[in-house]
Amino acid sequence: MLTERQKRILWAIINNYIVSAEPVGSRTVSKKEGVGFSAATVRNEMADLEEMGYLEQPHTSAGRIPSQKGYRFYVDHLLMPQKWTSSDLLSFQQLFSQNIDRVELAIQHTSNILSQLTNYMTICLGPRVFIDRLNHLQVVPLSDRSAVSIAVTDRGYVQQHRITLPEDVSVSTIERLINLLNHRLKGISLSKLKATVHQELTNELKRYMDHYEQTLDLLDQILHIHHEERIYTSGTTRMLEQPEFQDVAKMKMLLNFLEEDQRLIQLLEPNTDGVHVRIGDEIHMEEVNHCSIITTSYMINGEPVGTIGVLGPTRMDYQRVISLIDILTQFFSQQLSSMYEDE
């Protein structure tokens, strides 16, 4: 474990390097407010911190830079949450007060805001199930006990999956069920189909459908619609303006990576317990092993529905980004919940 002096020196080095992107020398650290140690003392401690793996020394410089281990210790033990004033909170709230009536626009808007405020790249994972609305359903029998359920959304997205037909449910019952669903569910978002059925159609199904329990089982199969995840990005140019990406090879590798949606989806590991920070090799992807990703989930009525992340160099301003993604996601979740209730 580090001594209090080593913690203070490591804290000073990382904060200085985040701002300057230049290796930090002992004289610079000793002059920093809140350090209070001589340059010689700082130099000795920096050598120890390097030996323990918290600092690295570039070959061309007498100064030190943080290692990934150093950043991890900084995030886990040295970082204090940024305190927002009431004026800050009001400004953030006003960013989400625009009259946006489409979920995908709200997600892109939030992505843009977070990128502008952090000066890094923002990546949002938004489930299509909360965006697309049902256009119509169809069931195509394949045999006595097997059929294909087809769902078409208002955006032309088609999903089909195999279902098992209950023995006691006739073809005419299935036709009546599908006609009822198409009549009552058209225009409903995919995420609300089952809730709408249970809230509004249960009594009707009991009255008009034979073999009610089997019909419910069939209904659950028909409405078991998987969602596709959509990626929203903002701030790629801001990311490339960081000094780390003046290296053409790094820049090309990053740009190629950002073109692969499935890789981006893997990057945004879902989490429901606050803000997560992964640094460098912790991401387990070679293309971004010189980056950090900070992620959290956004909610609709308390349920996690998507992930938002900020991607930047390992030299990112962790305090600001963690605090921003936390507070802005809260406002964003409130906005989404309000939009969802108004549907």
Query: Tens digit of pLDDT for each residue in 45-58?
Result: 999 999 999 999 98
pLDDT of residue 206: 77
Tens of pLDDT, residues 138-153: 999 888 888 999 999 8
State the average pLDDT for the chain. Answer: 88
Instruction: Report the alpha-carbon distance of residue 122 to residue 311 in Å, rounded.
Output: 6
Kindly tell me if the per-residue pLDDT of 343 is higher than 60. no
Q: How confident is the model at residue 208 (pLDDT cuts 50, 70, 90)?
A: low
Q: How confident is the model at residue 135 (pLDDT cuts 50, 70, 90)?
A: very high
Q: Cβ atoms within 10 A of the Cβ of 158, count?
A: 10
**Residue of 176, 125, 133 lying closest to 154 (CA atoms):** 133
Q: How confident is the model at residue 227 (pLDDT cuts 50, 70, 90)?
A: low
Instruction: Report the alpha-carbon distance of residue 226 to residue 14 in Å, rounded.
Output: 44
pLDDT of residue 260: 87
Q: How far is CA 241 from CA 3, 80, 236, 238, 312, in A?
A: 36, 27, 9, 5, 11
User: Reduced to 3 states, what is the DSSP secondary structure of residue 157?
Assistant: coil
Element (H, E) at 132: none
Examine domains 86-120+235-342 and 134-222 and report if their fold is the same. Answer: no
Q: Cβ atoms within 10 A of the Cβ of 179, count?
A: 11
Element (H, E) at 312: strand 303-313
Instruction: Report the alpha-carbon distance of residue 109 to residue 8 in Å, rounded.
Output: 38
pLDDT of residue 17: 96
**Residues in CB range of 205: below 8 A, 6 or more apart:** 177, 180, 197, 212, 215, 216, 219
pLDDT of residue 137: 94
Please report, for the chain, the start and end positions of each structural domain, with discontinuous segments joined by +: 4-78, 86-120+235-342, 134-222
pLDDT of residue 189: 79
Q: How confident is the model at residue 322 (pLDDT cuts 50, 70, 90)?
A: very high
Kindly tell me if the per-residue pLDDT of 230 is higher than 90. no
Tens of pLDDT, residues 92-107: 999 988 777 777 888 9
- The correct CATH number of 4-78 out of 3.30.300.170, 3.40.50.620, 3.90.950.10, 1.10.10.10 is 1.10.10.10
Kindly tell me if the per-residue pLDDT of 90 is higher than 60. yes
**What's the distance, CA 32 to chain centroid?**
36
Angle, helix 318-342 to helix 103-118, in steps of 10 degrees: 160
- Mean pLDDT check: name the lowest of 83-87, 185-189, 274-278: 185-189
Kindly tell me if the per-residue pLDDT of 228 is higher than 80. no
Which token pair is 192?
A: 């609300």
Kindly tell me if the per-residue pLDDT of 304 is higher than 70. yes
Q: Of 39-43, 209-213, 227-231, which one has max mean pLDDT? A: 39-43
Q: How confident is the model at residue 130 (pLDDT cuts 50, 70, 90)?
A: low
128 near 227, Cβ under 8 Å?
Answer: yes
Tens of pLDDT, residues 7-25: 999 999 999 999 999 999 9
Is the domain defined by 86-120+235-342 classed in CATH 3.40.50.150?
no
pLDDT of residue 270: 65
232 near 114, Cβ under 8 Å?
Answer: no
Instruction: Report the alpha-carbon distance of residue 258 to residue 181 in Å, rounded.
Output: 40
Kindly tell me if the per-residue pLDDT of 327 is higher than 90. yes
Q: Which residue is associated with the tokens 């923002």? A: 122
Instruction: Report the alpha-carbon distance of residue 191 to residue 153 in Å, rounded.
Output: 12
Which token pair is 23?
A: 């290796």
Q: Provide the CATH topology of domain 134-222.
A: Enolase-like; domain 1 (3.30.390)
Read off the pLDDT of each residue in 284-291 and give the average, rounded to a whole number. 92
Between 215 and 238, residue with greater pLDDT: 238
